[in-house]
Amino acid sequence: MKEQATFGAGCFWGVQAAFDELDGVLETQVGYLGGHLPNPTYEQVCQGDTGHAEVVQVTYDPHRISYQALLDKFWELHDPTQKNRQGPDIGSQYRSVIFTHNETQRTQAEASRSKLQASGRFERPIVTEIVPASTFYPAEDYHQHYLKKKGLGSCHLPS
């Protein structure tokens, strides 16, 4: 059995590398989601006017890893209180967003966000969007598993 989850948490290179490390994640693919331009290119998305976010689409086995565990990793990877920014990357394409693939994911994502906000971990409000997934456009091949190909650690992610 396979399911999909899709997350935007800044530059997709480091986010992909982090999800790749989780047992139960079968495959990850970086790409673009949430905008109005069909088949966008990296250059177009970087202009910031396509509406797309850089995302990682995660294919996972729900018998080996739960959607909640994926959400927990997502919250660890970035600062969800920063609007349209993570680390040195600025623009709506770097927004904090969870794209849900069904009602159960939406409910779990909203509950997870509310619980994290109430925890007091962050002084500022969480700005993470939770929206239904639309058409996912895979990024160009050179972006797929970029950090692994280049032998690099991470980008904006905390160590």
Q: CA 130 to CA 97: how far, in whole Å?
A: 6
Q: Which residues of 129-138 are buried (b: 16+ CB within 10 A; e: fewer)?
A: bbeebeebbe
Of 5, 11, 17, 71, which residue is the catalytic one? Answer: 11
Active site residue 11: yes
What does DSSP assign to residue 94? Answer: G
The three-state secondary structure class of 22 is coil
- Both tokens of residue 12? 């997709």
Q: CA 64 to CA 124: how far, in whole Å?
A: 34
For every residue of 118-143, DSSP letters joined together read: HTTS-SSPP--EEEE----EEPPGGG
Catalytic center residues: 11
